[in-house]
Amino acid sequence: MKERHRISIIIPVWNEMSIINQTIKGIFRLEYNGDIEIIVVDADPEGKTIKAIQDNDVIKATSEKGRAKQMNKGASIAGGDILLFLHADTGLPENALDDIFSAVEKGYKCGAFNLGIKSERFVFRIIESAVNIRTRLTHIPYGDQAIFAEKEYFEGLGGFPDVPLMEDVEIMREIKRRGDKIRIVHEKVMTSPRRWEKEGVIRCTLRNRALITLYYLGVSPKRLARFYF
């Protein structure tokens, strides 16, 4: 049997004390005949989320605030040859790690998953479908779709651009500019609907659509971040 790649799962966090242990347990339950490590990078100077972690096998780190900074920090200390960037409120499908291994074995340097939303509401089936159709057409997945990449390749890209917003889109656009293939795994990651539910589904969806449109029209991520956070 071919030796499996070691996968480093990097989770950027900020005030995720209530869910981080559930996310970690879900990862350790996944089937994978290879080594994994979990790296949680906390942007809180007090490290409240990493202090709440119950599993001693998890690697804990802190960084400056900013998802790109946090993910790059995690990548810099990762021991795996594949990096998987996971949001704290997102769960991976049962065969996720095997799917990543298979993608790399087929020659893909990076990829992501289809999106699922953990809610029974029909409106979220519409949002899921729209996201997954867009991803198939553009091959530009977003961060909540669990982006993965070979570590050496990721380092060759210079990591995520140091911007407060759209770091996921920018790195995917760079990959496409290079002519490299991006694997979109059919299985869905399951993300929380909490942002939609907190802000309102219509308002949140329209705001996100407006932000991405303005980004493609040339508005800087720094300016866009004022309307997102």
pLDDT surpassing 80 at residue 124: yes
Q: What gap in Å lies between CA 159 and CA 167, rounded to an integer?
A: 10
Stated as kind and residue range, the H or E segment containing 32 is: none
pLDDT surpassing 80 at residue 133: yes
CATH number of 7-192: 3.90.550.10
Specify whether the CB–CB gap between 99 and 106 falls below 8 A. Answer: no
Percent of the chain with pLDDT over 70: 98
Q: What gap in Å lies between CA 128 and CA 114, rounded to an integer?
A: 8
Q: What gap in Å lies between CA 80 and CA 32, rounded to an integer?
A: 14
Specify whether the CB–CB gap between 143 and 68 falls below 8 A. Answer: no
pLDDT surpassing 60 at residue 2: no
CB burial of residue 160 (10 Å; 0-12, 13-18, 19+): buried
pTM of the model as a whole: 0.95
Measured in whole angstroms, how far is the alpha carbon of residue 110 from the centre of its chain?
Answer: 12
- Read off the pLDDT band of 4 (50, 70, 90): confident
